[in-house]
Amino acid sequence: MSNVANRTIFIRDNLEVMRGVNSASVDLIYLDPPFNSKRMFEAPIGSRAAGAAFKDAWTLDDVKEEWVTQIEDDHPALAHIITAAGKAHSEGMQAYLTWMTVRLMEMQRVLKPTGSVYLHCDPTAAHYLKAAMDAVFGSDNFRSEITWKRTTTHSDSKNWANVNDIIFYYAMSDNYLWNPQHGKYDPEYVHTKYRYDDDDGRGPYTLDNMTSPNLRPNMMYEWQGHASPPRGWRYSMETMTRLDSEGRIRYPDSKRKRPRLKRYLNEMPGRILDNLWTDIAPVNSQAKERTNYPTQKPLALLERIIKASSDAGDLVLDPFCGCATACIAAERLGRQWIGVDISEKAYELVIERMRREVSLGDADLPALFGSVSHRTDAPKRTDAAAPRRSRNIKERLYIAQSRRCAGCRIELPARLLELDHITPRSKGGPDVDANLQLLCGWCNRTKGARSNDYLRERLSRAV
Ligand SMILES: C[S@@+](CC[C@H](N)C(=O)[O-])C[C@H]1O[C@@H](n2cnc3c(N)ncnc32)[C@H](O)[C@@H]1O
Ligand SMILES: [Zn+2]
């Protein structure tokens, strides 16, 4: 159950806000965080610089010890990757990934088992973020890497122009919500396939076979002077009569050729969309939705994501909401929403934007405008009764397990043992003492997001 009202904008660090949101209470998260681009953005993006312009760049001074411990405890392998990124790339990347990972961990906690998450980023940090997403949401739950062609005007005389953003899409489990989305057919495909038009206002159509591929004795009859096909027709005489009265049958000039069915282009759902999105234009200076927010994303992009991964009434969270594109899109599609941004400027823009959208008369926004809550506090969880894991659980387990790995039973120093969720968090296992054990690195990686039974089976094969 959600403990935050629909249509709430929080102006506060999203880590504090998300820590106050009930577990398993959100259906869909879209996040468009700062990308570690080392560029200046006008809108402030870090708590230290709140209210002022801020660089999208991180240093290890921004990292709290508590975050490092939390990552080491829950995702020891990822902790190694982050440290390695610090050596291989830069300390800035290490700091950025730490900052992002603790937030991703809260997102994983607040999403329902049927939920989904979309992380919008660009190639600057995408390949490092993918590793963090795999660890936190489970690599089995990775669904797609969407490439969005975000601009057509960019040109670069010394490089292939970088025109794409990347959106990582993960589900929380195998039991996730999915509504396939359709787009326009390729004009070339339409041109070659929908070749006919009767100029009766019904538009172009293509012709389909009306003969049955399998033997159907009960569909063998003569139709308008055309003998039954050897295996029968595809339709009963009743359906044939209806199709004929609707003008949907095209008759050939010879009785030896077969009549065919007209399929109209405007009745087709469109091309089923894939992970390459080239049909969503950037928010240009002409666009009605333009707010001048430096990193504003198009409504069409958010509407596509929200339609595919939520149903009406579901709760959408955008923890880096900026000028609240995701919130406006959610509202237009009848979803509930919560937006979080650290910048007060963002809230001003949200309100300004809602006014503008109202005057555009696009949706039922007047009602919405009056009912948006503006909060600067962090919410308080109402499900906190759920037992939490104790702080010194690692030491306690080390003694309880007689200093041994719970899998292979080899005795090891504590620092070589890693905390493992017996039922993985990606499979709904709770973060409580009773669901924790210490494993050596080999056992932990062998088990992965699987069960102890699986690990035991692998161990018995290993000897
Ligand atoms: C790339 S922008 C998001 C743009 C948004 N998708 C839109 O369409 O307007 C990133 C946002 O994250 C916000 N932000 C940065 N650090 C934050 C934090 N710790 N908590 C909440 N918001 C933060 C920034 O203020 C900025 O508005
Ligand atoms: Zn072991």
- Min mean pLDDT across 243-252, 357-366, 430-439 is at 357-366
Distance 241 CA to ligand 1 centre (A): 60
Cβ–Cβ under 8 Å, residues 340 and 319: yes
Query: Does residue 194 line the site of ligand 1, with CB under 6 A?
Result: no
In a domain, 388, yes or no: no
Task: State the SS3 of the chain.
Answer: CCCCCCCEEEECCHHHHHHCCCCCCEEEEEECCCCCCCCEECCCCCHHHCCCCEECCCCHHHCCHHHHHHHHHHCHHHHHHHHHHHHHCCHHHHHHHHHHHHHHHHHHHHEEEEEEEEEEECCCCHHHHHHHHHHHHCHHHEEEEEEEECCCCCCCCCCCCCCEEEEEEEECCCCCCCCCCEECCCHHHHHHHCCECCCCCCCCEEEECCECCCCCHHHCCCECCECCCCCCECCCHHHHHHHHHCCCEECCCCCCCCCEEEEEHHHCCCEECCCEECCCCCCCCCCCCCCCCCCCCCHHHHHHHHHHHCCCCCEEEECCCCCCHHHHHHHHCCCEEEEEECCHHHHHHHHHHHHHHHHHCCCCHHHHHHCCEEECCCCCCCCCCCCCCCCCHHHHHHHHCCCECCCCCCECCHHHEEEEECCCHHHCCCCCHHHEEEEEHHHHHHHCCCCHHHHHHHHHHHC
CATH of residue 174: 3.40.50.150
Q: Which atom of ligand 1 is nearest to the CA of 343?
A: 25
- Residue 438 CB contacts under 8 Å (≥ 6 apart), including other chains: 394, 397, 398, 401, 405, 406, 417, 418, 419, 420
pLDDT of residue 374: 87
pLDDT per position as a tens digit, 109-136? 999 999 999 999 999 899 999 999 999 9
* 127 shares its domain with 155: yes
**Gap between the Cα atoms of 419 and 72, Å rounded:** 9
Mutate to test the pocket of ligand 1, among 11, 148, 342 (most ligand atoms within 8 A of CB): 342
Residue 14 falls within a domain, yes or no? yes
Measured from the CB, is residue 296 less than 6 Å from ligand 1?
A: yes
Query: 369 and 398, same structural domain?
Result: no
Tell me the per-residue pLDDT of 14-36, one tens digit each, with 9 for 90 and over.
999 999 999 999 999 999 998 76
Statement: residue 1 has pLDDT above 90 = no
Whole-angstrom Cα distance, residue 262 to residue 360?
40
Residues 376-395, mean pLDDT to the nearest whole number? 81
Do both 163 and 201 map to the same domain?
A: no
Same domain membership, residue 21 and residue 98: yes
343-374 tens-digit pLDDT: 887 777 777 776 666 444 455 554 555 678 88
Q: What is the C-alpha to C-alpha distance for residues 78 and 93, in angstroms, rounded to an integer?
A: 14
| Residue 442 CB neighbour total at 10 angstroms | 15
Q: 113 CA distance to ligand 2 centroid (A)?
A: 29
Do residue 196 and residue 176 come from a single domain? no
Q: Evaluate: CB of 320 within 6 angstroms of ligand 1.
A: yes
Is residue 218 one of the residues assigned to a domain? yes
Q: 366 lies in a domain?
A: yes
Instruction: State the average pLDDT for the chain.
Output: 88
Q: Domain check: are 256 and 317 in the same one?
A: no
In this structure, which ligand is nearest to the CA of 447?
2
- Is 53 within a domain? yes
pLDDT of residue 185: 92
Last residue of a domain, one of 375, 410, 442: 375
User: Which of 328, 348, 375 represents a domain boundary (last residue)?
Assistant: 375
Clarify whether residues 366 and 430 are in a common domain. no
CB of residue 34 inside a 6 A radius of ligand 1? yes
The neighbourhood of ligand 2, an ion, using CB within 5 A, equals: 405, 407-408, 440, 443
* For the CA of 439, the nearest ligand: 2
Domain match, 369 and 422 both? no
Decide if 153 is inside a domain: yes
448: domain CATH number is 1.10.30.50
Q: Is the pLDDT of residue 248 over 90?
A: yes
Q: How many domains does the chain have?
A: 3
Distances, alpha carbon 151 to alpha carbons 132, 251, 277, 281, in Å: 27, 48, 11, 7
Per mean pLDDT, which range of 73-77, 103-107, 186-190, 291-295 is the poorest?
291-295
Domain range for 198 is 187-267
Cα 83 to its chain centre, rounded Å, is: 27
The confidence score (pLDDT) of residue 43 equals: 42
Percentage of residues of the chain with pLDDT beyond 90: 69
203 CA distance to ligand 1 middle (Å): 45
The reply to whether 108 and 225 lie within a common domain is no
Whether residues 174 and 215 share a domain: the answer is no
Average pLDDT, integer, range 64-81: 92
Looking at 234-243, 362-371, 437-446, which range is the least confident one? 362-371
Among 235-244, 292-301, 450-459, where is mean pLDDT lowest? 292-301
Report if residue 330 sits inside a domain: yes
- State in Å: Cα 462 to ligand 2 middle: 12
Given the CA of residue 13, which atom of ligand 1 is nearest to it? Answer: 20
Q: 30 with 326: CB under 8 angstroms?
A: yes
Lowest mean pLDDT among 43-47, 155-159, 250-254, 459-463: 43-47
457 in any annotated domain:
yes
Same domain membership, residue 222 and residue 117: no
Higher pLDDT, 232 or 41: 232
Q: Which domain-ending residue is among 218, 249, 267? A: 267
CA 79 to chain centre: 24
Q: Are residues 300 and 341 in the same domain?
A: yes
Residue 46 has pLDDT above 70, yes or no: no
Q: pLDDT tens digits, residue range 262-287?
A: 999 999 999 999 999 999 998 887 77
